[in-house]
Amino acid sequence: MAIESCFDQQRCKPGLFWALLGLGGLVVLGMLYAFFTLEHHGHVLTGMDNQIVWGLPHVFAVFLIVAASGVLNVASIGSVFGKKVYKARAPLSGMLALAMLAGGLAVLVLDLGRPDRLIVAMTYYNFKSIFAWNMIFYNGFFAIVGLYLLTLMDRKLQGYSRAVGLVAFLWRLALTTATGSIFGFLVARAGYNSAMMAPMFIIMSFAYGLAVFLVVQSAMYKWNGLKLDEAILARMKNLLGVFIAASLYFTVVFHLTNLYFAKAWEFERFILLEGGSYTVLFWGGQIVIGGLLPLALLYSPGARQSVGTVMAAALLVIIGGLAQMYVTIVGGQAFPLDLFPGHAESSSFYDGVVHGYSPTVYEFLLGFGGIGIAFVLTVAAVRAFRFLPQDDFKALEAEKA
Amino acid sequence: MARLAHWLRLAVLLGVTAMFAFPSQEAAAGVNLPKLERGKGDACVEDTETMRRHHMNMLKHQRDKTMRQGIRTTKHSLKGCVECHAGSHTGSVASAREDFCMACHVYAGVKLDCWNCHATRPADKAPTRVGATPRGETSPILASTLNGASQ
Amino acid sequence: MSEPVKQDVHTDPQRREFLKTGALVTGAAVAPGALLYGVAHSRPPEQPASADVRWGMLIDTSKCGDGCSDCVTACNEENGLSGKTGPQDVQYIRKLDIKDLRTGRVHSLPMLCQHCEHPPCVDVCPTGASMRRADGIVRVDQHICIGCRYCMMACPYKARSFQHEPVTNQKPDVPRGMGCVESCTLCAHRVDRDQEPACVEACNANGHRAMLFGDLKDPDSDLARALKAQPSIEVRADLGLNTGVRYQGI
């Protein structure tokens, strides 16, 4: 198979491989340091408190989990919908999904108040809890996508890849629905309680996942001194454009329903106009950096031929995605609960005031550690196995014609 | 066949090693058995052998009944243990390594999770202790984690 | 998760005898009115909390003293809380001052866990640590709480706190520790021995009598009669949680 100069990852640039692994390892080490420190001293060292109970670690964790389910889409388009271009990318997509889910879950677990009781979380289930269902979906995701990867990479099992791919696709839809519902089912809070949360998370996962995939794919091609076929690049860039536009559309509808149905005007005024950093992050981060700017880049003349432009757009989508998670998760809590509508409220427990949040270094270490884990797993997997997309150009031509 | 015998021998060797490795550092080092202070009253709620083997099961059973159903019988309650077994020096079951719970648990190298949350002293007597170690001087968590290695 | 508990109420003749004589002696000695409450609800320690009872509370904001925080102090003392009010400190009960934005009318009231019939915190808890006892008391089983804080996200009343630091000086009756979520237990340990919650006791002791504790399901209880006689509200009644704590005077 080794036609190209550096097709087999195991034989090229070993120095770079170890350097990348070392870099990722350092970040993971930082995460472990934060974890052990917090386990000993408690969350008192973080910026999280009884008002902002979920902070920066959760922003990273939920982003990674949502993007993990989204990145699997590339495989689904190939296996389930039979597109050859995507089928060649299915193994990479499945592996990335596993790596990112592992990273995201690690952050969630290491941020628990009692991480030593993980076994309790795995043995006591409250089936009324959407959170418990999420745990089931996460564990199942590992099993199903793992199996899916086997069917993709083992010749003898290839016949099953379509069926298992379909299960994986349905499973990931359920998973993202459940993740969005973690927030959507919070009836008491103006910023959450919305049926729009689940579908919005799904459509956002499409965009974030594809963006991550494009970044990784571009880096791998660069690493191997290869050039991505222009037609493939154009296809994937257009798909990303559609996903970004859809995410923007869902964001608009989400805020409109809040204004119109749920009567959460006060919350909307907070996020859209008067929320300080949250307002800035919403408009500047989620809308402009994560939506309008990448759209402009993707549809600019010349983007068809420019890997750099597409990669920049994908990176912007990722940054915008993190901003979106921050606005959703932290912004949703910063807005105070309204116990007595129509009344001004004050107490020793910070009722009626907008809650401030300033994360400490530990939260950053935990959050980046999640990315570090996904990164290390990806680097190692890419080196150990053949994940580089192997395009069959003749088949592509046939499909086009 | 010879190959099998070879593996069997290896397995036995490993098993025997494991048996030696199993006791905690203290037990393995031949440190004297822990000396426990006698609790108040004539006898414990069950005989000594039962208590040694099963106290954790009783506590867990009682814990769920008390917590979830509000059953507050005292026979197997942790509070009951503390009331009888608080040490005469520290007034606690777990603030020094001589205290009742710690003596055995340090010896056996079994970490305790009770005292992160539960009071190690009986009610009311806390403020009027004479010559006792102030509460919190030796963290029970620390004591159980260290396994006495530092002492 | 928990097996049914055998009830051996009648297997202890000594205890029965003691109860009988005890009831006779006290009945003769103490004024009947003072004993009413205790007799109505006494539950032997080996009997589980029953669904025939639902503990609840009525808080009359017109009697609640502006600036008085005796209930908060009593709660802190009873449960071994530090009483600090930083953003990371634990509070079970707080004095909430509200002002009607249209009329300008102000109220001061204690806000605590509302002990809902359909508690969102219990629904969302992944492990079942957040639980509701048969007699309506909502609390956290800190033995299986993993500290995920989802219940704090779900509670409409902001009634829960996360323990951010190691705890020392716990009360024997109120075990609590770092890394778990905790909240008002309606003083379950006191209720189980036929006492009122500490906050209610303190409010009565200082003469305000703004907090009335009792059994919502017993039509003859003072609480049930007061609720029948006067209008009262649930906080965030729109959520349909059927709270055990109700307010009047707002």
Give the mean model confidence (pLDDT) for residues B106-135. 72
From chain A, pick out residues whose CB is under 8 angstroms from the CB of C239.
187-188
What's the structural domain count of chain A? 1
Give the mean model confidence (pLDDT) for residues B42-48. 90
What's the structural domain count of chain C? 1
Best mutation target among B57, B69, B90, B125 (most C Cβ atoms within 10 Å) is B69
Q: Is A100 within a domain? A: no
Q: Is the pLDDT of residue C15 over 70?
A: no
Q: Which of A326-335, A372-381, B64-73, C32-41 has the lowest mean pLDDT?
A: C32-41
Strand boundaries in C101-215, DSSP class E: 106-111, 130-132, 138-140, 161-162, 181-182, 211-215
Mind telling me how many Å the CA of A129 is from chain C's nearest CA? Answer: 4
From chain C, pick out residues whose CB is under 8 angstroms from the CB of B63.
143
Higher pLDDT, C195 or B3: C195
8 Å CB contact between A340 and C250: yes
Where does residue A25 rank: exposed (0-12), middle (13-18), buried (19+ CB within 10 A)? middle
The pLDDT value recorded for residue A9 is: 53
CA distance B39 to B85: 5
Q: What is the mean pLDDT of chain B?
A: 76
Q: Is C89 within a domain? A: yes
Q: Which of A15-29, B28-42, C203-217 has the lowest mean pLDDT?
A: B28-42
Q: Which of A150-164, C196-210, C211-225 has the lowest mean pLDDT?
A: A150-164
pLDDT over 70 percentage in chain A: 95
From chain C, pick out residues whose CB is under 8 angstroms from the CB of A118.
146
Q: Which of A290-304, A331-345, A368-382, B5-19 has the lowest mean pLDDT?
A: B5-19
CA distance A119 to A104: 18
CA distance A278 to A270: 8
Q: Which of C48, C166, C176 sits opposite B69 (nearest CB)?
A: C48
Give me the domain span that covers residue C79.
Answer: 55-248
**Any chain B CB within 8 A of the CB of C5?**
yes
Q: Is C170 within a domain? A: yes
For residue range A73-116, list pLDDT tens digits in order. 999 998 888 888 888 899 999 999 999 999 999 999 999 999 99
Q: Which residue of B has its CA nearest to C45?
A: B72
Q: Is A332 within a domain? A: yes
Q: Is A329 within a domain? A: yes
Higher pLDDT, C158 or A159: C158
**Any chain C CB within 8 A of the CB of B116?**
yes
Residue with tokens 């090693």: B17
Of the pLDDT bands very low, low, confident and very high (cuts 50, 70, 90), residue C113 is very high
CA distance A320 to A317: 5
Give every strand in the sheet of A343-347, ordered side by side: A343-347, C94-100, C106-111
CATH number, domain with residue C193: 3.30.70.20
CA distance A267 to C35: 51
Q: Which chains touch C (3 or more CB pairs under 8 A)?
A: A, B
ipTM: 0.91
Distances (CA, A) of C150 to A123, A152, A233, C217: 18, 38, 42, 31
Are B68 and C142 an interchain contact pair (Cβ–Cβ within 8 Å)? no
8 Å CB contact between A371 and A60: yes
Higher pLDDT, A326 or A80: A326
CA distance A385 to C121: 45
From chain A, pick out residues whose CB is under 8 angstroms from the CB of C145.
113-114, 117
The pLDDT value recorded for residue C7 is: 44
Are B116 and C177 an interchain contact pair (Cβ–Cβ within 8 Å)? yes
Give every strand in the sheet of C245-248, ordered side by side: C211-215, C55-60, C245-248
8 Å CB contact between A183 and A189: no
Mind telling me how many Å the CA of B53 is from chain C's nearest CA? Answer: 22
Give the mean model confidence (pLDDT) for residues A18-37. 96
C26 in helix, strand or coil? helix
Fill in the amino acid letter for A375: F
Q: Is C32 within a domain? A: no
8 Å CB contact between B39 and B85: yes
Are C133 and B68 an interchain contact pair (Cβ–Cβ within 8 Å)? yes
Of the pLDDT bands very low, low, confident and very high (cuts 50, 70, 90), residue A368 is very high
Q: Is the pLDDT of residue C2 over 80?
A: no
Q: Is the pLDDT of residue A356 over 80?
A: yes
Give the mean model confidence (pLDDT) for residues A273-281. 95
Give the mean model confidence (pLDDT) for residues A280-295. 97
The pLDDT value recorded for residue B139 is: 42
Residues 6+ apart with CB under 8 A from C29: none
Fill in the amino acid letter for C136: G
- State if pTM tops 0.80: yes
Q: Which residue of B has its CA nearest to C7?
A: B71
**Tokens of residue B60, six digits:** 């867990």
Helices (H), B29-93: 48-69, 78-85
Of the pLDDT bands very low, low, confident and very high (cuts 50, 70, 90), residue C8 is very low
**Any chain A CB within 8 A of the CB of C76?**
no
The pLDDT value recorded for residue A384 is: 86
Give me the domain span that covers residue A210.
Answer: 188-336
CA distance B26 to B148: 8
Q: Which chains touch B (3 or more CB pairs under 8 A)?
A: C
Of the pLDDT bands very low, low, confident and very high (cuts 50, 70, 90), residue C99 is very high
Q: What does DSSP assign to residue C239?
A: G
Q: Is the pLDDT of residue B138 over 50?
A: no
From chain B, pick out residues whose CB is under 8 angstroms from the CB of C172.
79, 82, 118-119, 121-123
For residue range B75-107, list pLDDT tens digits in order. 999 999 999 999 888 999 999 888 999 999 999
8 Å CB contact between C34 and C187: no
Q: Is A345 within a domain? A: no
